[in-house]
Amino acid sequence: MRKRRNVLATLGFSVVLGGLFLSFSGPVHAASGEIKIKVLAVNPSPDRNLKTTVTHYLPPEVVSEEDIVEKAGMEVKFDAQKKTYFLAKEVLLKPQQTMTLEVRVRDVWLLDTEKIEETRKNLDRQISGLMGTQYYETGKLLYDKALENLDRIVAEQNQPMGVKQHVELYRAHALQFNEITENALSLDAMRRLEEEKKKGVREARFLIEAENPSKDPKTITVRSLLPKDITPDDVLDKQDFNVLFDQEQKVYLLEKQDQFTAHELKKYTIVVRDIWAIPDETLNSFQQQTERLVRLLKPTPYEKYAEEQGKIAVGLIEEIRKLQEEVASSLSLEDRIRAFVMNTQKLEVVKAKIRDLQQLFLEIPEKKEDPLEKLRILIKKLAEIKNLVLVAMGFSPNKPITWWIIFGIILFLGVLSGVFYMAWLKKLQENKWVKRGSGELQPEPPPSTDAEKEKEKEESEKAKE
């Protein structure tokens, strides 16, 4: 059985506090620049007086006492913990008495029109800067969409509506306006749109159901919270709903007023961008990384371990693809979100397996350098250089005549080297007797005779005496 979306069919906004019934409602008068907040105090007892303190917290956008135009006799206080102003007044209520306190505050829930115009000018400058680039066409689409959203914000914030709706609409507008100002023509936005133009937008649909329990026709406010992380830009078809923002739950919501006949049940099909699907490009990338790491680890001692881890990772990727296909046509967002959570967990396991395989490379022992291997590599490189030289000279290294040319060159270089060697030896012999410290050659002394040798010996003995 399909679960219904979280829908609130209400006629106003109210709070019950300690037997005292408080509420604020009423239309917003944008032209006057003020908002009227009605605080109701009710004594439900039929026979006893009630003395109590009426307390009403103002929205956090009221940042100064000057924003409170009419206090209705209530005292303005500041809650340091909640960082908001609140009004308090001690009252005495008779049995079943209702007291209405009307507070007026300045309408601070309107975007500044000057800031909106400044954003328009900035967008004009940005699109002009893209003129002549590859992103101009895509940027123009984003530019037109941003201007359309600005026009919609201006139109919506001037519509008369209840106080609570006006405040929540402002919060949604403020978030959208900041997104337009900062990221409307960002590079990421243009690339994302380019991708969507090529492959189309993946959509998800869900139903909002609302029923009038009364036997009389009624105008009912239908409210439905949007899933977390869904932004107004992700709502592709909102069925005339206003997109508001719930400050307490920090999520966007849809709201509209509709006419219901007696006991009528209405269904609204909402289309949003499917943000709960992991892109195929991401899955393919992780699978390719895994398979490549397994191949690189084959000639190592970790080959079998790598194969097992790779099988686990690839198997999980296939499971992710299968589960995404199963929920692709489902109208239940709960099924899509549940599948996305499961697939995200599986993808984290895949990432962990890839990290483990990468870290195995640090465990592989380094190979010792083999001198013979280095020599073989050197010979191989010389052969490659030789081939390049022959090709540059116009010869093919594979033809027999080429080898004769190679041998001829080697023989010529050998003879030339021998001639140079003999000439060098001869020159060395001629320069054997050179006076130290001068570049002048000295003649080689003639060989000594026996008489000369005997005379030199006698002179040497006399010198010793």
Of the residues 245, 272, 299, the one at which a domain ends = 272
Under DSSP, the state recorded for 51 is E
- Cα angle 127-128-134, degrees, rounded to a multiple of 5: 70
Asked whether residue 169 falls in the same domain as residue 243, the answer is: yes
Q: How far apart are CA 149 and CA 181, in angstroms?
A: 11
Pair (327, 199) in one structural domain: no
pLDDT at 406: 67
Contacts 24+ apart (CB under 8 A), 86-91: 86/55, 86/56, 86/57, 86/58, 87/39, 87/54, 87/55, 87/56, 87/58, 88/53, 88/54, 88/55, 88/56, 89/53, 89/54, 90/51, 90/52, 90/53, 90/54, 91/41, 91/51, 91/52, 91/53, 91/54
Model confidence at 21: pLDDT above 80: no
pLDDT digits over 330-366, tens only? 777 888 888 999 999 999 999 999 999 988 888 776 6
Q: For residue 326, is pLDDT > 70?
A: yes
Same domain? For 141 and 241 the reply is: yes
- The CATH number of the domain holding residue 89 is 2.60.40
Do 266 and 118 have their domain in common? Answer: yes
In a domain, 387, yes or no: no
| Domain span including residue 338 | 280-363
Distances (CA, A) of 302 to 216, 289, 294, 306: 76, 17, 9, 6
Claim to verify: residue 83 and residue 135 sit in the same structural domain: no
What integer pLDDT is reported at residue 198 of this predicted model? 77
Q: What are phi and psi of 295, to 5 degrees?
A: -65, -40
Question: What gap in Å lies between CA 55 and CA 58, rounded to an integer?
Answer: 10
How many of the other CB atoms lie within 10 Å of CB of 322? 10
Does residue 450 belong to any structural domain of this protein? no
Residues 121 and 101 in one domain: no
SS3 category, 49: coil
Please give the pLDDT value at position 399. Answer: 56
Query: Which pLDDT score is estimated for 403?
Result: 60
Integer Cα distance of 35 and 162 in angstroms? 10
Residue 288 is predicted with a pLDDT of: 93
Same domain, 44 and 21: yes
The reply to whether 284 and 263 lie within a common domain is no
Whether residues 128 and 173 share a domain: the answer is: yes
Looking at the structure, do residues 11 and 72 belong to the same domain, yes or no? Answer: yes
Coil, strand or helix: which one is 50?
strand
Question: Are the C-beta atoms of 253 and 247 separated by less than 8 Å?
Answer: no
Q: How far apart (Å, rounded) are the C-alpha atoms in residues 24 and 42?
A: 13
Residue 240 lies in a domain: yes
Q: Is the pLDDT of residue 227 over 80?
A: yes
Answer yes or no: pTM beyond 0.75. no
Specify the DSSP element, H or E, that contains 108. Answer: none
242-246: strand order across its sheet = 7-10, 218-225, 251-260, 242-246
How many CB atoms lie under 10 A from the CB of residue 223?
Answer: 22
H helices, E strands: number in the chain: 10, 15
- Using one digit for the tens of pLDDT, what is the confidence trace for 58-116? 989 998 889 999 998 999 999 998 889 999 999 999 999 999 999 999 999 999 989 99
Number of domains comprising the chain = 4
With beta carbons less than 8 A apart as the criterion, state whether 117 and 87 touch: no
